[in-house]
Chains A and B, each alone.
Chain A
Amino acid sequence: MKLKTIYASLKKDLSFIETELEHTVNAHHPVLRDASNHLLKAGGKRIRPVFVLLSGKFGHYNLPLMKNVAVALELIHMASLVHDDVIDDAEMRRGAKTIKAKWDNRVAMYTGDYIFARAIELVTELKDPAANRILSHAILEMSIGEIEQIRDQFNWDQNVRDYFRRIKRKTALLIATSCELGAVAAGASKEEQLHLKQFGYYVGMSYQITDDILDYTGTVKQLGKPAGGDLLQGNITLPVLYAMNQKNEKEKIMEIFSEEVHSSQEQVDQVLSIVKLSGGIEHSRQISDRYLQKAFYELEQLPASSARTSLRQIAEYIGKRKH
């Protein structure tokens, strides 16, 4: 099932959120406004707002209130992407030039900071002080996760536990927070808040593992770049960690990278072959699926509803997606 089909029940609300996103980043300065809108118009899956809205359906769904959380979560994600592109020196994102490429690093830094502050201001509109506590914890952890990712680049001694902790911080926490805050904003019960948070966490873990698999298996057309981009930057993900745990494979991989600090596409291609032969891709798929099953279990603890069905469909889509 396509994401668009799953989103159909939320079409009207999502279109409202899209308009609100544009209004929210309507800065006074034209460059700040254009830069903020530039990324917005490049699109995206809007998974975080969707999780906020669907989770809100388990409480007293009130769109004007839910919108603050949905918009804020997407903006936080966007702000982190703007800064990530400076970190990665990236030229393209979602088929369009990055802000740092279209303007420059300084414009990207100001835009990211502006969007981030705008998002936080929106969350202060919620009455429940827990909202800020939950979100600020997630953002703090996210930034630590990003620092750890840089730290762990080309670190061949890291283990699977390091990887899981990193992707939890980097991806899963913000998705868990989207679900939890949607439930908090709608006043769902504490129990429902917890199940939705756990659901988001497991889906987020599966999402990132799938993303990391796709980096090895995707085509240039699907990825918009050659496979193995993560490894090229020194990011060691689950498929390669699995391969390194197989007999002699760690030595082989380390040998490929031993001569230079910078990795080349040629080196990456060699490691890709080793990873594929080792069964690292298949193993990662199993782990991703295991997280999905845990996510489904959390959903089953919630009352049956169309929102629950949609959450399950999105989770399934995430596990099987090709890009």
Chain B
Amino acid sequence: MLQSRLSHSYLLRFIDFPVIDEEKLYVFYGMLEQAKLEHRRKQDTLLSIMLVQIALDTHELISLEEIDNESDRKNRQLTVLAGDYFSSMYYHLLSKWEDNELIRTLSEAIQEINEAKMSFYQTDYSTIEPVFENLKEIESILVRKVAEHYGLSNWKSFGSHYFYMNRLLTERKQGIIQSGSFMLQKIASTLLSVKSAKLSTNQASKAKIVLDSYIAYAKKEMDQLLQQHSELHQLFQERFEYNWGMTGIQEKKMAEEG
């Protein structure tokens, strides 16, 4: 359903199909199951929340570099428009349900996320801790707002931490440090005072060690949260262990390095 709504034939000629974050989809689905919405409404609500995330993620793809060829130019233009299109779709969908309250909640979330992203992007941090705190904030806002909206307090801290954990794992898995992702570049520049976009192997591996230590700490917190919330434990333990296993990280080794 999500895929068919995202398809816009002309857009897909020039830009990749938007990445649907399955972990987020799974969490929001679980939350809406508890919110006890009627089936069709639940489907559209889930779709709207995911569209907000996809729109934000799509705009994150806009590069800073000068462009000198037609194909890249068109790709950038359509990536901007695709984000705007997905964003207008969430609004349109919820307005059909006359869900004024959720529209307000999601628009507040978008504002807060952009505040947090701007802070992450524009602040020259002197220590590493606030960099990770800011990253966690960016990942947490949407799930926290949705949990508050439906009065699902048990999902608030769990969802926030689950998204943060997955973000850290995704960054590591994709080896983004080496290719200079702006998020991880930020971590590296704070840690090592490196200003160039491309990190040396040595710099990348130092940054990775620090990232791994934060992952180890986040994993510990995740385990604790799953212990505290038995109802969520059942839903997420197996899934989380599987994702963790896929990273190939060994906790013992990480603890030694960290």
Distance A56 CA – B114 CA, assembled complex (angstroms): 33
Q: Are A144 and B110 in contact (CB under 8 A)?
A: no
Query: How many whole Å from B126's CB to the nearest CB in chain A?
Result: 18
Nearest A residue to B101, CB-CB: A124
Q: Are B88 and A139 in contact (CB under 8 A)?
A: yes
Chain B interfacial residues counted at CB < 8 A: 48
Kindly identify which residue among B55, B84, B89, B121 contacts A110, using a CB–CB cutoff of 8 Å.
B121
Which of A41-49, A62-70, A101-109, A275-283 lines the interface with chain B? A101-109
Q: List residues of chain B with CB within 8 A of the CB of A139.
A: 88, 91-92
Contact with B along A120-139 (1 / 0, CB 8 A): 11001000010011011101
Distance A87 CA – B144 CA, assembled complex (angstroms): 32
- Any chain A CB within 8 A of the CB of B206? no
Distance A137 CA – B91 CA, assembled complex (angstroms): 9
A86-B76, A120-B107 given as contacts; is B91 within 8 A of A147 (CB)?
no
- Segment 89-112 of A: residues with Cβ below 8 Å from B: 89, 104-107, 109-111
- Segment 178-217 of A: residues with Cβ below 8 Å from B: none
Kindly identify which residue among B59, B91, B92, B101 contacts A109, using a CB–CB cutoff of 8 Å.
B59
Q: List residues of chain A with CB within 8 A of the CB of B121.
A: 106-107, 110
- Chain B: interface secondary structure? helix
Nearest B residue to A119, CB-CB: B107
Which of B24-32, B62-70, B223-231 lines the interface with chain A? B62-70
Nearest A residue to B104, CB-CB: A124
Q: Are A142 and B88 in contact (CB under 8 A)?
A: yes
- Any chain B CB within 8 A of the CB of A116? yes
Contact with A along B86-104 (1 / 0, CB 8 A): 0111011011101011011
A110-B117, A150-B78, A151-B10 given as contacts; is B111 within 8 A of A136 (CB)?
no
Kindly identify which residue among A113, A129, A147 contacts B100, using a CB–CB cutoff of 8 Å.
A129
Chain A interfacial residues counted at CB < 8 A: 43
A114-B114, A136-B91 given as contacts; is B108 within 8 A of A150 (CB)?
no
Kindly identify which residue among B100, B103, B111 contacts A114, using a CB–CB cutoff of 8 Å.
B111
Distance A28 CA – B122 CA, assembled complex (angstroms): 13
Nearest A residue to B87, CB-CB: A116
Q: Are B92 and A105 in contact (CB under 8 A)?
A: no
Distance A121 CA – B70 CA, assembled complex (angstroms): 37
Kindly identify which residue among A27, A118, A135, A150 contacts B74, using a CB–CB cutoff of 8 Å.
A150
- Any chain A CB within 8 A of the CB of B80? yes
Q: Are B110 and A117 in contact (CB under 8 A)?
A: yes
- Any chain A CB within 8 A of the CB of B118? yes
Q: Are B78 and A113 in contact (CB under 8 A)?
A: no
Q: Are A113 and B62 in contact (CB under 8 A)?
A: no
Q: Are B84 and A132 in contact (CB under 8 A)?
A: no
Q: List residues of chain B with CB within 8 A of the CB of A136.
A: 88, 91-92, 94-95
- Any chain B CB within 8 A of the CB of A83? yes
A29-B122, A262-B70 given as contacts; is B56 within 8 A of A113 (CB)?
yes
- Any chain B CB within 8 A of the CB of A20? no
Q: List residues of chain A with CB within 8 A of the CB of B81.
A: 83, 87, 143, 146-147, 150
Distance A217 CA – B56 CA, assembled complex (angstroms): 40
Q: List residues of chain B with CB within 8 A of the CB of A117.
A: 107-108, 110-111, 114
Query: How many whole Å from A146's CB to the nearest CB in chain B?
Result: 5
Q: Are A110 and B118 in contact (CB under 8 A)?
A: yes
Distance A143 CA – B11 CA, assembled complex (angstroms): 12
Q: Are A147 and B78 in contact (CB under 8 A)?
A: yes
Q: List residues of chain A with CB within 8 A of the CB of B74.
A: 150
- Any chain B CB within 8 A of the CB of A220? no
- Any chain B CB within 8 A of the CB of A140? yes
Distance A87 CA – B101 CA, assembled complex (angstroms): 32
A132-B95, A132-B100 given as contacts; is B111 within 8 A of A104 (CB)?
no
Q: Are A105 and B62 in contact (CB under 8 A)?
A: yes
- Any chain A CB within 8 A of the CB of B34? no
Nearest B residue to A79, CB-CB: B84
Distance A147 CA – B80 CA, assembled complex (angstroms): 10
Query: How many whole Å from B105's CB to the nearest CB in chain A?
Result: 9
Query: How many whole Å from A127's CB to the nearest CB in chain B?
Result: 9
- Any chain B CB within 8 A of the CB of A261? yes
Query: How many whole Å from B124's CB to the nearest CB in chain A?
Result: 12
- Segment 251-306 of A: residues with Cβ below 8 Å from B: 261-262
User: Which of A28, A80, A135, A150 gathers the greatest number of chain B CB atoms within 10 Å?
Assistant: A150
Residues of A within 8 A of B (CB): 27-29, 31-32, 80, 83, 86-87, 89, 104-107, 109-111, 113-114, 116-118, 120-121, 124, 129, 132-133, 135-137, 139-140, 142-144, 146-148, 150-151, 261-262
Which 3 pairs show the lowest CB-CB distances between chains A and B? A117-B110, A132-B95, A129-B98
Q: List 20 A-B contacts (CB under 8 A).
A: A29-B122, A87-B76, A89-B73, A106-B64, A106-B182, A110-B117, A113-B59, A114-B114, A117-B107, A117-B110, A120-B103, A121-B104, A129-B100, A136-B91, A136-B94, A136-B95, A140-B85, A147-B10, A147-B11, A262-B70
* Given A114-B115, A120-B103, A147-B10, 4 new contacts (CB under 8 A): A83-B80, A117-B111, A118-B107, A136-B91
